[in-house]
Amino acid sequence: MPAFQNLAASSSSKRKSDQHDLNTADRKRQAVEEGVSTMEGDQYWMVQWRNPQYKKHKTWDGDAVLVVSGNRCTLYDSDNRQLCSGKPYGIESTRKLAEGVEFALGSREIEVDHQLSRTDFLSGKCFGRGGGPDTSTATNSRPSAAKQFVPLRPKTLNGGRTTVHTTPAATEKERSGINLEPVNLVTSQKAAQKSPARDSYWTANWRKPQQKKHKTWDGDGFIIHNGDKLTLLSEWGLMMGTKKWDGLPLYSSYKTFIGQREVELDSEISRAELPAIVGKSAEPPLDPEYSEPLPSQARSSFLVDAARERRTSQEGTGSSSPSVTTVNSPASAKKFIPPASFYGTAVKPKPKGPLHDPDAPGAVVMKAPTKDHQAKYNKKNLPVVPVVIDPVIARHLRPHQKEGVQFLYECVMGLRKHEGQGCILADEMGMGKTLQTIALVWTLLKQNPYAGAGPVVGKVLIVCPVTLVNNWKSEFHKWLGKDRVGVFTGDKDKRVIKQFLNSKIHQVLVIGYERLRTVIEDLAYCQPPIGLIVCDEGHRLKSANNKTSTMFEALRTPRRVILSGTPIQNELSEFHAMADFCNPGLLDDYSTFKRVYETPILKSRAPGRSAKDAEVGEARSAQLTSIAKSFVLRREATMMKKYLPPKHEYVVFITPTKLQLAIFEKILSHGKLDSLVRNSTAESLALINMLTKISNSPILLKATADQARIKAQQSGDTVKRDAIEEALTLLPERAQVEDVTLSGKLSALARLLRALQKHTEEKCIIVSHYTSTLNIIEAYCKKKSYTYHRLDGSTPAPKRQEYVNDFNRSSQAKRFVFLLSSKAGGVGLNLIGASRLCLIDSDWNPSHDLQSMARIHRDGQKRPVYIYRFLTTGTIDEKIYQRQVTKLGLSDSLMGTGSSDSKSDSFTRKDLLDIFSVHPHTACNTHDLLECPCEASATDRPPSRIGREELEKMMEDESSSDEDDEDPLKGFMAASQVKAKDIDKVDKAYLKQKRAQLAALGEWTHINCLQAGAVDRVDDDMLTHLIYSPEKDTGESTSAPQSLSAKLLDAADRIMSEEQSFARDIVPGGSISFLFERSTKSSMDDGDAEEEEAS
């Protein structure tokens, strides 16, 4: 690199040859200096450079100076070191260089910024050194004297002390050997003074101190350089601050601090372009959070401090003071503030009291810690203060939600009777479990019953299905705003999620169960550590050995909360798994729990139980219920009646089409039924799956037939293979996917959608467990130009909440239908934009259906809600629904109503025979099993409803008459000894057991829609479009004008037909044959009715 010196000095006499003429260092210096004269034709450019990058948004690695000599370029970095040299490529020639041109040199990419003058390059100004070139006359013939030394400004680390440079007195001693030429490395203070610089004016950007990663500018302004002073002006001419100039040359991108603002120069302007000075702006207040020394205001090093102390000691002893060079810096202008009062003013400590007023109206105060709790957790004897829910969120809580937050707080703080700090919030769907959890999280993040101990938790982990990740974030923002708490969503890459570990601006991580498995090990190193775990839809933890449950072992967090509207779905082992997750060891291990609780309870509920088994089982059940009440809270949705509109539920039994009945007959004929029942459980489940799809639409048989045919061939089951082949021949050759007339349920759905669009402004949710069924409905919506959204497992996670929000905000014309997969979107979503929901098929697990049906009857719903469960009459749909009814009481064995020992994937031979049976002539097989006397009443009376207790009493009377009958097939006997009447008794006992399990259906209203006048008994006007009527079948129009005689004849015909009922065989497919109806009215409706009666 050429030496930076004045050419006038180098053109004087050369250095004389002396006795050390052979010194190689001097010869090198002389050769370089002589080479300066060859650079007169060179070009100098300020450029930006970077190494090759492959990311989307590339950044520059640094600034540099490019020297162009002919066709050869040399690149120097800002520290005057050569980076590379050679011929450039990517550009025709060096003559094409201009601002903004990009090319490559060596292995680096370069962009030209602006051209430099030769003087700026030789003086080192472009490298941030010194001032302009020295214009004084050389006083020494040596080249080294031509360049004046300017001392470097050291960084000041002490903020307020003046940095000095001392020139120690040099003592020369004669030494033997080569005599060194004296070189003046440090000039005197007088020589170091700069010539007065000219005034200049600049445009600039300014900002207050920022700690974020990507900093932004707060505003534009102007800089006035007048003498040794820099002044910052705003765009409107207000003086925002001044400082002493540090002596460094001003240039574009020069940065400094003026007052409490960071300033960067942009471009130089003339004096005339400045705004008129109109006043002075007040200095911004000092923010204690950002008041630590800024990077450019660092303290001086300990070497400079030592030099200062030495200078002070010399002054005290009267010794001569060395020459001192004072460097002006932003820190040197500040008065030193002792560390004891760093912020200038003493910070008053906050009084040790509650964060919110516990005596304010409507304040929700948590339970105070007991003496035992204080002895265990308050080792420092800190004062106890009340913990109060923030009024910002407390004013939105309803009474049952306030009770829920208090219950959650007492559990996680260890203030309940049970050992442990976990709990299960098992409120029914739509009661605000999310809001209660947010209130708990916000309270624990900000408060502690022990003053001065800091908040109870530092960070919170919320685990939920991936569909609900963004919903949780929006709920936090809805109730707390976007600035109070930082919510980090874990729907991104693993490397991005790791940013949460040490983030100071995020306190809550919301992540899906599947994604959590990839980062659970890293979350163990969170700072501060995770203090609370919330598992939404926690029934996924129903097995203690699955991956979802075991992954939490990496986090040693005792405070754990499970949220689930359906906590127990199949058996008591699920309850033990969730209880053990919340409070490890509370119910012992599973083998002990099974022996002590599960087995005796199930024995006490078995049909052939003894008196002793019943007594022991009831005692163990009461004991388990008592333990569960300490950490399990469950409330029914009936508590929300005063806040929500009425809800009407319908179980709609729809007649199958002739094609569906023919396919069922081919597959389930009597000659093939015995062979199908003998198959393995897996093959039976596969056949059940196929029959369920045929109930939805026969066209789905094509999709499942290939797989079923292959499995039948592998197993050698020729009966099943032949049955499938025969069934396929019944399908129309040109059947289209959107053809809903092939299925009874889908044709009924089509008529319902048509009526809704024509007569109402309501929107509809359509739920199915099969995406193939959703494909058919989607094709039909496209055919009919129905606007819709679809959410299933293939929908990207970020789009799911977007679809929900758009559907809730839109009118019927913009979004009429929402197609929903029960597995992907059946939990947690809030779809209050719709008031009608159709469940196309049923799941063996009743909780899946209950979760799906609860999407619309929630907080915020304004319309009356109608929920329809479609079942194909007499087919496997009814058998699945019957199985659901028997299992619905299981979770209530601990939560309130009953239990069952049945399993969804376990079937006896008798069960399979029942499942694979089709009843083509019944209006409702489920009602037939009940043997309900409601149809015995006259047709002109309203539909009767028999209570559950009355139905159970009837069955007890029936069983008492058969009490003395001995079971004819008990034990082993020869087949020849079995009589027909014995088999009949077994069948009766089986039917009696099923009727007992279906006793809960006695609480519903039963309506036989094959009877005349059924239309008048149905409260929902939309369902009347699906009920069969001979007038509709003949195409008669009731809206056509009629004469008086015709009207009288019609009235007479209606009166005569009151006692008529239609045979199931003449009713076309897609018509309603039977209805189960149940309605819950809101308290507001009851109040209105009372007012009307009073008036």
If asked whether residues 97 and 239 sit together in one domain, one would say no
If asked whether residues 1022 and 884 sit together in one domain, one would say yes
- The pLDDT tens digits for 479-517 are 999 889 999 998 777 888 888 998 889 999 999 988 898
- Bigger pLDDT: 1041 or 880? 880
- Residue that finishes a domain, picked among 728, 763, 778: 728
pLDDT at 121: 85
* 165 Cβ contact partners less than 8 Å away, ≥ 6 residues apart: 151, 186, 324, 325, 327
Q: What are phi and psi of 218, to 5 degrees?
A: -85, -25
pLDDT at 820: 92
Mean pLDDT of 778-798: 91
Mean pLDDT of 100-109: 87
pLDDT at 667: 81
If asked whether residues 715 and 763 sit together in one domain, one would say no
Q: Is the pLDDT of residue 446 over 90?
A: yes
Residue 281 identity: S
- When pLDDT is cut at 50, 70 and 90, the band that residue 995 belongs to is low
If asked whether residues 554 and 430 sit together in one domain, one would say yes
Q: What is the CATH classification number for the domain harbouring 114?
A: 2.30.29
Burial group, residue 462, by CB count within 10 angstroms (0-12, 13-18, 19+): buried
- Residue that finishes a domain, picked among 728, 752, 785: 728
If asked whether residues 947 and 1027 sit together in one domain, one would say yes
If asked whether residues 724 and 752 sit together in one domain, one would say no
| Range from 548-552, 823-827, 917-921 that averages highest in pLDDT | 917-921
Q: What is the CATH classification number for the domain harbouring 799?
A: 3.40.50.300
pLDDT at 1067: 84
- When pLDDT is cut at 50, 70 and 90, the band that residue 979 belongs to is low
- Bigger pLDDT: 170 or 754? 754
Mean pLDDT of 886-903: 50
Q: Interior CA angle at 97 toward 91 and 100, to 5°? A: 95
- The pLDDT tens digits for 205-236 are 989 888 787 888 888 899 999 888 899 988 88
Q: What are phi and psi of 667, to 5 degrees?
A: -80, -35
CA distance 404 to 290: 40
Residue 128: half-sphere exposure toward Cβ, Cα within 13 Å: 13
Q: What is the CA radius of gyration of the chain?
A: 43
* Pairing assessment for the beta strands 229-234 and 72-77 based on DSSP bridges: unpaired
- The pLDDT tens digits for 1039-1088 are 455 566 666 666 555 555 544 566 777 888 889 989 999 888 765 555 44
- Token pair 């609780």: residue: 597
CB 509 within 8 A of CB 519: no
- Bigger pLDDT: 901 or 662? 662
pLDDT at 677: 64
If asked whether residues 917 and 785 sit together in one domain, one would say yes
Does 616 map to a domain? no
If asked whether residues 650 and 660 sit together in one domain, one would say no
Q: Is the pLDDT of residue 38 over 50?
A: no
Please state which of the ranges 576-580, 727-731, 795-799, 998-1002 shows the lowest mean pLDDT.
Answer: 998-1002
Residue 1000: half-sphere exposure toward Cβ, Cα within 13 Å: 15
Mean pLDDT of 990-1013: 73
Q: Is the pLDDT of residue 977 over 70?
A: no
Does 27 map to a domain? yes
If asked whether residues 492 and 464 sit together in one domain, one would say yes
Angular region, 952: left φ>0, alpha ψ -120 to 50, beta rest? alpha
Q: Is the pLDDT of residue 925 over 90?
A: no
pLDDT at 511: 93
The beta-strand segments (E) located in 182-318 are 200-207, 219-226, 229-234, 238-244, 255-258, 261-269, 279-280
CB 1022 within 8 A of CB 752: yes
- Report the Cα–Cα distance between both ends of the chain, in Å, rounded: 104
Angle at which helices 469-480 and 797-809 cross, to 10°: 50
**Residue 111, token pair as written in the block:** 């962009």
* Pairing assessment for the beta strands 102-105 and 82-86 based on DSSP bridges: unpaired
Does 589 map to a domain? no
For residue 688, the enclosing domain spans 655-728
CA distance 384 to 387: 9
- The pLDDT tens digits for 139-159 are 333 333 334 454 555 444 444
- Token pair 């260890």: residue: 414
Q: Is the pLDDT of residue 23 over 60?
A: no
Does 363 map to a domain? no
Does 189 map to a domain? no
Does 546 map to a domain? yes
- Bigger pLDDT: 66 or 570? 66
- When pLDDT is cut at 50, 70 and 90, the band that residue 273 belongs to is confident
pLDDT at 657: 92
Task: Work out the number of other CB atoms within 10 angstroms of the CB of residue 683.
Answer: 17
The DSSP string of 454-508 is: --S-SEEEEEE-GGGHHHHHHHHHHHH-SSSS-EEE--S-HHHHGGGTT-SS--E
- Bigger pLDDT: 986 or 387? 387
pLDDT at 133: 37
CB 642 within 8 A of CB 1084: yes
Please state which of the ranges 13-22, 137-146, 975-984 shows the lowest mean pLDDT.
Answer: 137-146
Mean pLDDT of 581-591: 89
Domain count, the chain: 5
CA distance 1095 to 1090: 9
Mean pLDDT of 830-850: 87
What b-and-e string marks burial along 622-643, b requiring 16 or more CB atoms within 10 Å of the CB? eebeebbebbbbbbebeebbeb
- Bigger pLDDT: 874 or 944? 874
If asked whether residues 718 and 741 sit together in one domain, one would say no
Q: Is the pLDDT of residue 819 over 60?
A: yes
Distances (CA, A) of 1035 to 71, 965, 1029, 1040, 1089: 94, 57, 10, 12, 40
- When pLDDT is cut at 50, 70 and 90, the band that residue 760 belongs to is very high
- Token pair 């009267």: residue: 318
pLDDT at 156: 45
Q: Interior CA angle at 841 toward 838 and 846, to 5°? A: 95
If asked whether residues 80 and 218 sit together in one domain, one would say no
If asked whether residues 861 and 950 sit together in one domain, one would say yes
Average pLDDT, the chain: 75
Q: Is the pLDDT of residue 373 over 80?
A: yes
- Reduced DSSP (H G I as helix, E B as strand, rest coil) percent helix, strand, coil of the chain, to 5: 40, 15, 45
Distances (CA, A) of 776 to 147, 259, 771, 814, 834: 87, 69, 9, 21, 21
- Residue that finishes a domain, picked among 329, 348, 367: 348
Task: Work out the number of other CB atoms within 10 angstroms of the CB of residue 402.
Answer: 16
The DSSP string of 128-162 is: T-SSS---SPP-SSSGGGTSPP----PPPBSSSSP
620 three-class SS: helix
Q: What are phi and psi of 828, to 5 degrees?
A: 80, -20
pLDDT at 459: 94
Residue 781: half-sphere exposure toward Cβ, Cα within 13 Å: 21
- The pLDDT tens digits for 40-98 are 568 888 999 888 888 888 888 888 999 998 888 999 888 888 888 888 888 878 888 88
Q: Structure pTM?
A: 0.59
Q: Is the pLDDT of residue 938 over 50?
A: no
Does 533 map to a domain? yes
Does 834 map to a domain? yes
CB 923 within 8 A of CB 1008: yes
Mean pLDDT of 927-938: 66
pLDDT at 717: 61
- When pLDDT is cut at 50, 70 and 90, the band that residue 187 belongs to is very low
